[in-house]
Amino acid sequence: MSTATAADQRVYNFSAGPAVLPVPVLEQARDEMLCLPGVGASILEISHRSAAFTAIIEAAEANIRKLLGVPDDYAVLFLQGGGRLQFWMTAANLIGELGAFKGKSADYLLTGSWGKQAMAEAKKVAPVRVAYDSSGSNYDRLPAPFCAGEPAMDLDPDAAYVHYTCNETIQGVQFPSEPDTGGVPLVCDASSDFMHKKLDVTKYGLIYACAQKNAGPAGVTIVIVNKALVADASPNLPIYCNYNTHIAEKSLNNTAPTFSIYIVKLVTEWLLREFGDLDAVYKQNQMKAKLLYDVMDAAPDFYIGHARRECRSLMNVAFRLPSDELTDAFLSGAKKRGLSDLKGHRSVGGARASIYNAMPVAGVECLRDYMLEFKNQQG
Ligand SMILES: *Cc1c(COP(=O)(O)O)cnc(C)c1O
């Protein structure tokens, strides 16, 4: 009989999402699976209106508020429908017939595949404008001043909001800081780098993030919204799609995704316990990404980065090898070492290493060592 435990069989999982979770979180969920301490039943079996679950959702919210310094005039919501529902819901609540800023349009920064999809959904609601578009170079860059020589954003000072994707998961392009919109509210899709560093939340009107990349499992999407921004959205919006419903009812208008919220609570507890604050998380994320980018920078003709240096992501490291044969050999060799899910998205090709908060430093070191070795063998 094998003595290998389930934990021994775990690989280093570089999946873009759903993605790696911290082992202590999985262990605690396992230990509490039959019975939440003092509750007598599992998280999967209790009412979303029970005292036990109320304590869980309140703790998850308090942890997020603490980690990100969310001010009181912002609500923290736990919704369903993923990032994709937010593509439409942000627009429906702000522009369009039922929106708080009816009659206005919104500006979109297209720096990757997700931003493009967000705009396509918003367009169903009301007119939108493209304020920047790097699709011509398959989304490898950002506007000036982030990338020198690029055009600046072409912003409409009268727009209801500017939507951008702070980390484009597929192309591995990340904004190093918020774009300056001259006072127009920022609406941000932070799905793949949520809680990877501290933010000044007051710079945003609304931040949304599906949890399954950097914050928890699939099934819940976290929204941080300035309550005043959405206050005038029409009550004629579908009840689930009106932010004011969820603000008023503390995300419990309907049955909330209880298990997913429970895991977000455990992940945020882990961040607080393991790192203390998001500055420490950020430091480790910078260090992990540098391990891989240093290898790429030393062999730029072998590991060919997709994103320009000024905007490459700390979360998703996307690169190609000189040929499809080498890419295949690289990926299959990686798999043999227990380095999984490194295949790039089909629209970019090559490889992509997603190294979210929960990816251990040892996993990135293992990949770094493999990249060096593979290059020496083949290069
Ligand atoms: C994964 C992802 C999404 C889509 O999320 P779903 O929950 O699958 O709808 C949206 N935006 C970004 C940046 C993502 O990485």
Report the atom number in ligand 1 closest to the C-alpha of 85: 9
What residue ranges do the domains of the chain occupy?
Answer: 51-274, 277-377
Is residue 213 annotated as a catalytic residue, yes or no? yes
Identify whether the C-beta of residue 313 lies closer than 8 Å to the C-beta of residue 103.
no
Give me 151's structure tokens.
Answer: 């055009």
Looking at residue 379, its pLDDT comes to 62
pLDDT per residue, tens digit, the chain (379 aa), is 456 677 788 999 999 999 999 999 999 999 999 999 999 999 999 999 999 999 999 999 999 999 999 999 999 999 999 999 999 999 999 998 999 999 999 999 999 999 999 999 999 999 999 999 999 999 999 999 999 999 999 999 999 999 999 999 999 999 999 999 999 999 999 999 999 999 999 999 999 999 999 999 999 999 999 999 999 999 999 999 999 999 999 999 999 999 999 999 999 999 999 999 999 999 999 999 999 999 999 999 999 999 999 999 999 999 999 999 999 999 999 999 999 999 999 999 999 999 999 999 999 999 999 999 999 998 6
pLDDT at 5: 78
Cβ proximity of 131 and 107 under 8 Å: yes
Q: Find, among 363, 358, 15, 30, the residue nearest to 215 by Cα.
A: 358
Rounded distance, CA 258 to CA 78, Å? Answer: 10
Q: Which residue in 107, 140, 189, 341 is the catalytic one?
A: 189
The fold adopted by the segment(s) 277-377 is: Aspartate Aminotransferase, domain 1 (3.90.1150)
Annotated binding site: 49, 83-84, 114, 169, 189, 212, 254-255
Q: What's the CA-to-centroid distance between 167 and ligand 1, angstroms?
A: 11
Binding site for pyridoxal 5'-phosphate, by residue number, is 83-84, 114, 169, 189, 212, 254-255
Mutate to test the pocket of ligand 1, among 191, 213, 214, 354 (most ligand atoms within 8 A of CB): 191
Regarding the domain delimited by 51-274, which CATH topology (the fold level of the hierarchy) does it fall under? Aspartate Aminotransferase; domain 2 (3.40.640)
Q: Residues lining ligand 1, judged by CB closer than 6 Å?
A: 17, 82-84, 114, 165, 169, 189, 191-192, 210, 213
SS3 for 128?
Answer: strand
Single pTM value for the model: 0.97
Q: Which residues belong to the annotated binding site for L-glutamate? A: 49
* Residue 187 · residue 201 · CB < 8 Å: no
Burial of 3 from C-beta contacts in 10 A (0-12 / 13-18 / 19+): exposed
Residue carrying structure tokens 């089909």: 346
CB 262 within 8 A of CB 239: no
- DSSP E strand boundaries for the chain: 12-13, 74-79, 106-110, 128-133, 162-165, 167-168, 173-174, 186-189, 206-210, 221-226, 304-305, 316-320, 339-340, 351-354
Whether 88 is a known active-site residue: answer no
- pLDDT value for 2: 52
Cα separation, 230 vs 246, whole angstroms: 11
Q: Is 342 exposed, middle or buried (0-12, 13-18, 19+ CB in 10 A)?
A: buried
How far apart, in Å, are the Cα atoms of 111 and each of 11, 94, 143, 242, 349? 32, 22, 9, 27, 17
